[in-house]
Structure 1
Amino acid sequence: MLDWLFQSSIRQIDLINLFRLINRSHELKGVILCNNNGSPFIAHSVRNFLKSPEIKQVFTHEATAEENSYIGAFHSILEQDVIERNEFANYYDAKKMLGRYFSHYNHHRLHRSIGFVTS
């Protein structure tokens, strides 16, 4: 899934396939998907797909980054912890480093927003 980080754009079918993959390993029923009004997320086919695993989709208002502050905070942490501290020789090295970082972030890093425990 790290390949998605390096795509300049995402097709609707790619997004649907990603949600299918995630839903297989982690049931998405009841998940709230908060996103901006980017075209892949408002596309009719994507919105229809999200109804089947019962994913609730909510949209931020224009020019209100604070409504989706969690992802903004994550991007800031990712940039500070990985992007600014490393120089990648190639795509493979970046992919490998990001994989290690995501594992650390999800399983070992203490998160202030949930009481300084791992997620």
Structure 2
Amino acid sequence: MTPRQAAELARIAQVAFQADRARMAKVQRAEQRLRAQLDEIKAQERQARDRAAQAPDAMALAGGDRLWHQWIEGRRTTIQTELAQLLARKADLQSELRASFGRKAAAEALEARAVTLVQKDRDRRNTWSD
């Protein structure tokens, strides 16, 4: 493999690795967003418990609090399902990212080796011509 071919291979491997990193970053941002939504639900539940401990309000007296709790549970289930699917995708992406990094490292090593071999060959020819 010529140094030029090896350099092109290394460049392609680098681009592929960067694309995989970008996909992972997107998944991580989505994970953070879902976890923040779960934290917000927990905070809302704490506030509702605190209000209920003080005195029943009109919503509680009308049974609206039960409906709200049902809605919150449904929303939590939906978010947790989305998070589970996202975490499965993240695990797949981690495997892809490791493989992509390995290909990038191998291509860089090939490039370095090709340059070294060309230099050694050039040096060998120069010593014969002296």
TM-based fold match above 0.5 = no
Structure ranking higher in helix proportion? 2
TM-score (norm 1): 0.23
Structure ranking higher in strand proportion? 1
TM-score (norm 2): 0.22
